[in-house]
Structure 1
Amino acid sequence: MIRLFGVESYFTELYVRDNDASQRIILPAKAIESLTAMASTTIRQSGDMIIACMLLFQSQMSGYQVSSGEFVTYQRLLRSLVRDTSQIIYLPNIYRRFAKSMEVYRQYTDIEPEAPLVIEDCRPPPNWPHAGKIEFCDFSLRYREDLDPALDRINLTINPGEKIGIVGRTGAGKSTLVKTLFRLVHGTTSGTIRIDGLDINSMGVGDLRPRLGIIPQESTMFSGSFRRNLDPLREYTVEDMWAALIKSGIAPKVSPPRVRKDGSVDDDEYDEYYEESKAGADEWWAKSGWMMRLLLLLILDWPQKQKFTRHTPLHGLDRIALSSSQSFSDGQQQLFSFCRVLMRKRRVIVLDEATADVDLETDKHMQQLIRNEFSDLTVLTIAHRLETVMNSDRIIVMDQGRIAEFGSPQELIDAGGMFADLIKTNDFGA
């Protein structure tokens, strides 16, 4: 990429500058460390010389002959004293590390606690939200009293099943608007936000957040099996997971299991593989001699590796998905997030610039998924590309925490306002 844009000289200068800045810190630290070690050695050797001189002087003055054992004892005691005293040199470094740790500790203790997970008196019904209607009623948010409002008197009604695009320049309040649905922002608020008639600020976050779906800009995959990445709480069937993988188009990344004649998924082969691999490993371990076992324990750390291989059959959903950068491209990670949302079937879905880091082909595939699979769901999309929002039912144009424009794409273009200017400049914010 650097060669493609012909900016090798710029990044070379950047590397040299950062390397020089790093060396200006490292070299003095190494010099101080060397001086400290030299001072400690000098003090220790000087102490040995002083003891030898004192004992020699004593024997000359008093005629008492010091034995070699007494000399070694005096020498060890003095070295112990010098060693303990030389630790004073390191006290400033120890203090700085302790102060840094306390600073980090204070940052965590000063974090404002979140709302309770569950408020027993204000729990939503089990099927909430059942329609997906969202209402902002004169809602305002201010992070601090000395700052301008992040959201200022938002009045908005989103009907069930609507596809809403949210656009605006950087810092206009797009992400803040959708974060308020999950109560992920801290500050002074006024007004209300209702989903299907219930005030979300009156319920616990444990009842709110799991009932909404979100696909963030940077999706995360964890080390472990595909099954645990898709369904860590084991709430869904194998059929649900494979249906989501096939719809999203990333099933080829996961080895498909055997399908029975009736169309159901046969996942028992994984259990059989597990039992066979476990029995084989136990038999091999039992036949190994004591020297081989000792070698494996001390050098190869075999039990941990064998535990890993026993419980991770390399088939289907039980294949190991390494860290996201090793297993999936950015577009495939986003499609994997789509799988999670498809399985959960939430009535309100938020796409927070989910297509910002993917190519146009993947973007089109995601838009097709939204039209086909989310047709009856309420979808809020923070847009990074023009193509992402032009198929929306209505578009919200944010500006300095306010809703500047709200209407269908064609209405906003015909009005010739801020949305039309954004289209001309293609400045949708990042």
Structure 2
Amino acid sequence: MTASDQSWRGVATENADELPTGAGVFLRARSRRLLGELARPHRRSLWGLLATITTQNVAWLAGPFLIGVGIDVAVPALVDHGNVWPLIGIAAAMVAAALADAGLRFLFITWSGRVGQAVLLELRRRVFRHVQRLPLSFHESYTSGKTISRLTSDVEALSELLDEGLDNLLSAVFSVLFIGVFLLVLDLPLGLVVLIGFAPLYLVVRWFQKHSTAAYRRTRETIAALIVQFTETFGGIRAVQAFRRERRNDALHGALNEDNRLAHNRAFWLIAVFVPAVTLIGNLVTVAVLAYGSLRVLDGELAVGTLVSFLLYLRRFFDPLQDVAMFYNSYQSATAALEKLSGVLEEVPTVPEPENPIRLQEPHGELVFDGVTFGYTDRTVLPSLDLRVPAGQTVALVGATGAGKSTLARLAARFYDPVGGEVRLDGVPLRRLADADLRRAVVMVTQESFLFSGTVADNIAFGRPGATRSQIEDAARAIGAHGFIAALPEGYDTDVSKRGGRLSAGQRQLVSFARAFLADPALLILDEATSSLDVPSERLVQHALQTLLADRTALIIAHRLSTVEIADRVLVMDDGRIVEDGSPGELVAGVGRFADLHRAWADSLV
């Protein structure tokens, strides 16, 4: 696959109408492959459903035929010979066919509903599981609003198709096929008249298919954009209200809402044209059949019962075509949704788990960067990095924004893999470590200090799910969080609310510290992790860090030089390179960049 192919595969889920030539075919094949994978475990049920709907349609189609037989056979037998039994037999057959039709339809709807929900359950599981495994680079470019749209709006479109459209489609297809064949068998001349009506019907169907494909894909795109804007607005509601951006967001939401309305109006207009057109063609064909059939009845060439049966079947022939149109509505919407979902599922993890991982039983924390290079699509961040951090050493990374500190930390945590060179932990390349071993050995605490809905204890135990309450409290005491947690209304059982909204920024950071320390990693990475702490809290954390980091390797990234002072070693980075390396005391006494930074920081405290 060429680079250009790969470039559009990643965005296919968002802008399906602007794909290059050949991409549409790829998307359809990709969607079919996904649908086949989801349906494969239910093959027996699908064959059973096929047999059920086939039998049900035979029972449903028996009615017009029996009416015709009743008119041509049972009624003359009763009138001419007084024989009531043929009429009773026809009536009994019609009742039996009606009961079979109702029973089999009930069985099909309930059975297909169970299969459809099982397919949707697996699809939701697969998308959620896959998105969790995708690297940070995916989540940084693919907003949470788009992900929510995939798991809600797009899955709902498939749900509507499976719950309602599939029943109508199969019934319509079988009806059209069976009735089409039966009309030709019942009376060939009248059947040929019906076939003449297929020419305009085919043109109408092709017109609808051509325009509705783009229209329904557009509806999926507009609703996704609306969900993204909605999610971002209320995710950042504090900034919205602080900067008085409500009016601007109202205008943006109104524009997106209008786009969504226009997209749906286009889809509804197509349906509004298609359904009456099919109805008109059906009525014109019915008039032609009635006129020609009546002439043949008058000439004695055709029985009245046969004409009545033919007309009843003809009505049943065209009515399902409208159901096909409504199904096509759901089908196009679901197809667009399936294209987007399959696109997400085909995103390849850039940090895959090794096929034959090396076990790391007793991690010590020695970290080595051996000729590591790394860059994004538009720039190189680390041109060539060689670094060895002995086990148990605390290293502070200092430098201006964009110097490569966070990139180094993310490579150490294997959120990214280097483009060249190798990152090793205790002599084992990170690419060869099993994810479970790597995440147990390396823990990263970031500036955002994300807390999940639940209690304080639950959030601390996130680092070690099987931890006891005493272990949780010991971890909190170690980093100085026990005091404020105990003062909360319900102590460790206090619900932190969404994203830890009931706690201050500093308190959330302390809870995230307790979570990391409870995990007891061999390598602890603190990426701007003290930036949210006030001075008293920072001093408390620094005191705790001096004790807790004594027997583990640590990388500390901080702009606050007071945090750097607890490090054994300081690395000053500039443009992806290490330009100074030494203990805090050595570098402060020198004349390099760290000394300048330290003097500027000391002057700011005066």
TM-score under structure 1 length normalisation: 0.65
Distance 2:337 2:503 in 1: 39
Match of 2:347 among 96, 103, 107: 107
Any residues of structure 2 matched to 1:96-135 within 5 Å, and which? Answer: 96-108=336-348, 111=350, 113-115=352-354, 118-119=357-358, 123-124=360-361, 126=362, 128-129=363-364, 134=366
Alpha-carbon offset, residue 61 of structure 1: 3.8
Change (3 A) 1:22 1:398: same
Change (3 A) 1:338 1:98: closer
| Contact 1:140 1:149 (C-alpha < 8 Å) held by counterparts | no
What SS does the aligned partner of 2:261 have?
Answer: helix
- Residue by residue over 1:244-268, the C-alpha shift from the partner in whole angstroms, topping out at 9 and shown as x without a partner, is 2334444467679xxxxxxxxxxxx
What's 2:382 paired with? 150
- Residue by residue over 1:36-67, the C-alpha shift from the partner in whole angstroms, topping out at 9 and shown as x without a partner, is 23123422542464256336534764566799
| Contact 1:144 1:187 (C-alpha < 8 Å) held by counterparts | no
| Contact 1:349 1:378 (C-alpha < 8 Å) held by counterparts | yes
Match of 2:433 among 204, 225, 246: 204
What's 2:28 paired with? none
Distance 1:12 1:229 in 2: 33
What's 2:73 paired with? none
Length, aligned pairs only: 355
Specify the code of the residue in structure 1 equivalent to 2:409.
Answer: V
The answer on 1:50 being equivalent to 2:280 is no
Larger CA Rg, structure 1 vs 2: 2
Alpha-carbon offset, residue 202 of structure 1: 8.8
Query: Which 5+ residue runs of structure 1 have no aligned equivalent?
Result: 257-313
Any residues of structure 2 matched to 1:232-247 within 5 Å, and which? Answer: 235-247=466-478
| Contact 1:200 1:208 (C-alpha < 8 Å) held by counterparts | no
Deviates most, 80-89 or 22-31: 80-89
Distance 2:470 2:322 in 1: 72
Alpha-carbon offset, residue 19 of structure 1: 3.0
- Residue by residue over 1:67-100, the C-alpha shift from the partner in whole angstroms, topping out at 9 and shown as x without a partner, is 9887555323211134325655776555433433
Distance 2:273 2:527 in 1: 59
Alpha-carbon offset, residue 399 of structure 1: 1.5
What's 1:310 paired with? none
Distance 2:315 2:422 in 1: 79
Match of 1:83 among 314, 318, 323: 323
The answer on 1:30 being equivalent to 2:261 is no
Change (3 A) 1:46 1:145: closer
- Residue by residue over 1:171-221, the C-alpha shift from the partner in whole angstroms, topping out at 9 and shown as x without a partner, is 3221232334334432344366464xx445596244344134432233344
Distance 2:264 2:316 in 1: 29
Match of 1:164 among 395, 402, 422: 395
Any residues of structure 2 matched to 1:399-410 within 5 Å, and which? Answer: 399-409=574-584
Change (3 A) 1:20 1:236: closer
Specify the code of the residue in structure 2 equivalent to 1:104.
Answer: V
Change (3 A) 1:50 1:357: farther
Alpha-carbon offset, residue 415 of structure 1: 4.1
Distance 2:377 2:507 in 1: 42
Match of 2:528 among 353, 371, 376: 353
| Contact 1:43 1:82 (C-alpha < 8 Å) held by counterparts | no
Name the structure with the higher strand share.
1
What's 1:139 paired with? 371
What SS does the aligned partner of 2:421 have?
Answer: strand
Change (3 A) 1:103 1:373: closer
Alpha-carbon offset, residue 351 of structure 1: 0.8
CA RMSD of aligned residues (A): 4.3
What SS does the aligned partner of 1:150 have?
Answer: strand
Deviates most, 34-43 or 82-91: 82-91
Specify the code of the residue in structure 1 equivalent to 2:352.
Answer: P
| Contact 2:460 2:514 (C-alpha < 8 Å) held by counterparts | yes
Distance 2:239 2:490 in 1: 39
Any residues of structure 2 matched to 1:180-199 within 5 Å, and which? Answer: 180-190=411-421, 193=424, 195=426, 198-199=427-428
Change (3 A) 1:402 1:316: same
| Contact 1:151 1:173 (C-alpha < 8 Å) held by counterparts | no
Change (3 A) 1:82 1:199: closer
TM-score under structure 2 length normalisation: 0.48
Distance 2:379 2:537 in 1: 39
- Residue by residue over 1:376-404, the C-alpha shift from the partner in whole angstroms, topping out at 9 and shown as x without a partner, is 54432111434432444432111122101
Alpha-carbon offset, residue 31 of structure 1: 1.9
Change (3 A) 1:359 1:59: farther
Larger RCO (alpha carbons 8 Å, 6+ apart): 1
Alpha-carbon offset, residue 107 of structure 1: 1.0
What's 1:389 paired with? 564
